[in-house]
Amino acid sequence: MIARLLRSRWSIPVAFVLLALAYWWLHPRPPKVIGIGYINERSAILYNTLAQVRQPVAMLHYGDRVELLRVETAQTSVRTAAGVIGWMDSRQVMEGSLWQKTSNLLQRTRSMPVQARGHTKTVSNIRIEPGRNGPRIYQFIRGTPVYVYAREVADAPSPSEDGGADSKAAPGEDQKPKQEDWLLVMRDVSAADASATAESAATSSLMPSSPVSGAPLSAPPAPALGSAPPIQVAGWVLARFIDLDLPGPVRDYASSADLHPVAWFELNRVPDGSGGEAPQFLVAGTHGGEGLPCDFTMIRVYTWSARRQHYETAYIDNNLCGTLPILVTKSAAGPEFRFAGAGEKNAEHMYIMRQTVVRRVKSAAQSPPARRR
């Protein structure tokens, strides 16, 4: 009798324990999170499987946060903020640490002075640092408008790395690596150009456009109601992939002088002789190929002649080794610009422009101290 009572007393708890163990064993366990990532493309499709026959389960956008669950060669399994699990191309998601570096670079670039405006000549990979080995953080399509901020030099891939026919150097030949120019750029989200249309056609959302503005951006413009926010990205791109948007007459003058521009500025505006105003420009550039120790080796100032109705070269300096940035300031007397020289203990070069006359002056830092009486 007592044994039957004991059996009946413990049978229910034991049954609950067995049911709980069976549920835990049979119920699918949630996948283990191996990291945090962020989408680094304008849009990315999440698929339900790795099989050739698959279905999309979600559409992700630039900056979306996902949990990394599993990596299979070139595919990564992720879980979205809404709890959707699927597979996507590993190149479309970056790790959290790289995303933080990308955000820091964007904030730092926003505080730097703009050196030129231009656009991409072809599809261009944007990297977190100069050099082809730097992690890719985004990709601009052809015609993307950008601001240019800085220049750096990095080693190009060696012929052996490229697998070229000339991978073996001749005996005794100097095998110093070839160097390439890289530019720090930031997308100009204020410019209405064909790239916005092309990107929008490839995705489910449209990018807002606004009139072209020549002023540097302190913050992205507010997107239109119901539209996707503009994507502002900063990073390093091969300089040969960027074409600077010099005004037509100035571009022709620079080309005839064999000047490869690396920076340009509008100094001021003057009466054009027909009731309007004409801008006057400063252009900095180089001769020769890539990998130079100087950011620029010459400057030109182009002024407008109201009497002749064309631009004229008002100032030339061909014997420079300057470094970016060039800082341009404007005053009631006229514009001034300055930059540091390389190889001269970073001596500052300062110039003033009065009407159409440009001359170099000594800055306060270069002036000798006053003698005591």
Tens-digit pLDDT profile for residues 230-265: 688 999 999 999 999 998 888 988 888 888 999 999
* Bigger pLDDT: 301 vs 287: 301
What is the arrangement of strands in the sheet containing 145-155, beginning at the earlier edge strand? 136-140, 124-127, 234-238, 179-187, 145-155, 116-120, 242-244
What pLDDT digit, counting tens, does each position of 136-152 carry?
A: 999 999 999 999 999 99
Distance CA 45, CA 60 (A): 6
The one-letter amino acid code at 218 reads: S
Distance CA 70, CA 4 (A): 52
pLDDT at 368 > cutoff 80: no
Q: What pLDDT was estimated at residue 372?
A: 45
Q: Are 68 and 93 in contact (CB under 8 A)?
A: yes
Q: What are 283-287's contacts with CB under 8 Å, separation 24+?
A: 283/246, 283/250, 283/254, 283/259, 284/322, 284/326, 284/339, 285/254, 285/259, 285/260, 285/261, 286/259, 286/260, 286/262, 287/258, 287/259, 287/260
Mean of all residue pLDDT scores within the chain:
80
pLDDT at 210 > cutoff 50: no
- Map tokens 């005794």 to a residue: 172
Q: Which of 37-41, 66-70, 175-179 has the lowest mean pLDDT?
A: 175-179
Region 266-285: mean pLDDT is 92
Strand partners, 127: 136, 236
Region 57-61: mean pLDDT is 92
Distance CA 173, CA 176 (A): 9
Region 41-50: mean pLDDT is 90
* Bigger pLDDT: 181 vs 307: 181
Q: Which of 36-45, 202-211, 342-351 has the lowest mean pLDDT?
A: 202-211
Q: What percent of the chain has pLDDT over 70?
A: 72
N- to C-terminal Cα distance for the chain? 121
Tokens of residue 318, six digits: 């061909």
pLDDT at 206 > cutoff 60: no
User: pLDDT confidence of 10, banded at 50, 70, 90?
Assistant: low
Distance CA 109, CA 256 (A): 33
Distance CA 231, CA 221 (A): 11
Region 219-229: mean pLDDT is 43
The one-letter amino acid code at 307 reads: R
pLDDT at 326 > cutoff 50: yes
pLDDT at 354 > cutoff 80: yes
